[in-house]
Amino acid sequence: MQEIATVYHPSLETPIVLSPEWVQLLIVEDPHEFYRLVSMLDTQLGGGAGDFSFLREGAPISPDDEGWMICDPFHFDLNDKKVINLLIKRLASACRVGETQYMLSEINGKIEQFLYELFAAMPFSLTHEDLSAEELLKAGDVRFQKTYDTLTEKIVCFINAMVALKDCKFFVFVGLKGVLRDEDLGALYHHCAMEKVGLLLVESSESRPLLPQEKAIIITEDLCEILENYEEK
């Protein structure tokens, strides 16, 4: 078994094992418990404190370093400010050596000529600073181009971007099964398996039978714990 992370919580008897070999579902039927656990996951994936423990081979890992959480499949965006900042930093780091560094110097030279032409028309002295690679990329409004037509394609693009930019190893989605059909989920699961990415889907109910790739920890309304598909893995 390839373990990406094993997640523990005091309310859960069964550890949540994230692996590219299957998709883990956490189905929490009690609304109060659902809100509590989702809120805590969101806090910890954002770098805050909480009761979830994330380990790999028994050693603690930082969930905000290795994971990403999407709480609302309707309102996540590749061009989110945090994602764009990661993109800008990655592109700027590639500009520090070689031909791109030389080209940046040429660009700043052209900008200097342009500014001095403007400055000459003013009856006072002006100065300026050269643009860094990051400043130039921000000035150019560098962002992701929309190359998807469906939610599944958008999720795949997002996962690919976060793996490349942040080296994300797992993703947590809330309510994903409510907006994707089984065939779309199957395509997403296959892609994540090929990329060796782990998935945790948090749902408030078991809306339809599990897919072969899924296994589920179900917390019932009376807070009992039921496992599904575990014996088949």
**Domains in the chain: how many in total?**
2
pLDDT in tens, the chain (233 residues): 789 999 999 999 999 999 999 999 999 999 999 999 999 999 999 999 999 999 999 999 999 999 999 999 999 999 999 999 999 999 999 888 788 989 999 999 999 999 999 999 999 999 999 999 999 999 999 999 998 999 999 999 999 999 999 999 999 999 999 999 999 999 999 999 999 999 999 999 998 999 999 999 999 999 999 999 987 44
Same domain, 110 and 49: no
Q: Can you give the pLDDT at residue 95?
A: 87
126 and 11, same structural domain?
no
Domain with 47, as residue range(s), is: 5-78+144-228
Domain boundary among 97, 123, 139: 139
Q: Which residues lie closer than 8 Å to 212 by C-beta, 6 or more apart?
A: 229, 232
User: Is residue 233 a part of any domain in this protein?
Assistant: no
Which residues are registered as beta bridge partners of 59? 56
- 92 shares its domain with 67: no
Which string of DSSP letters, residue by residue, matches 102-147?
A: HHHHHHHHHHHHHHHHHHTTSSS-----PPPHHHHHHHTT--PPP-
Does the pTM exceed 0.85?
yes
Question: Which helix or strand (DSSP H or E) is residue 191 part of?
Answer: helix 182-194
Does residue 67 fall inside a structural domain? Answer: yes
Residue 208 and residue 155 share a domain: yes
Residues 129, 190 share a domain: no
- The domain that contains 203 carries what CATH number? 3.40.50.11940
Regarding whether 163 and 73 lie in a shared domain, the answer is: yes
The pLDDT value recorded for residue 63 is 97
Asked if 112 and 130 sit in the same domain, the reply is yes
d(CA 117, CA 128): 13
Q: Is 171 exposed, middle or buried (0-12, 13-18, 19+ CB in 10 A)?
A: buried
Do 152 and 215 share a domain, yes or no?
A: yes
- Looking at residue 217, what is its pLDDT? 98
Torsion angle defined by CA atoms of residues 58, 63, 66 and 71, in that order, rounded to the nearest 10 degrees: 140
Residue pair 211/47 in contact (Cβ under 8 Å)? The answer is no
pLDDT of the residue at 97: 76
- Beta strand extents in the chain (DSSP E only): 5-8, 16-18, 23-28, 53-56, 59-60, 67-70, 170-174, 198-203, 214-219, 225-228
Whether residue 51 sits in one domain with residue 166 = yes
Does residue 70 sit within a domain? yes
Is residue 126 located within the same domain as residue 211? no
DSSP, collapsed to helix, strand or coil, labels residue 56 as strand
Say whether both 220 and 207 belong to one domain: yes
Q: Are both 183 and 99 inside the same structural domain?
A: no
- pLDDT for 94 equals 87
Query: What is the pLDDT, as a whole number, of residue 233?
Result: 42
Token digits of residue 227: 């496992």
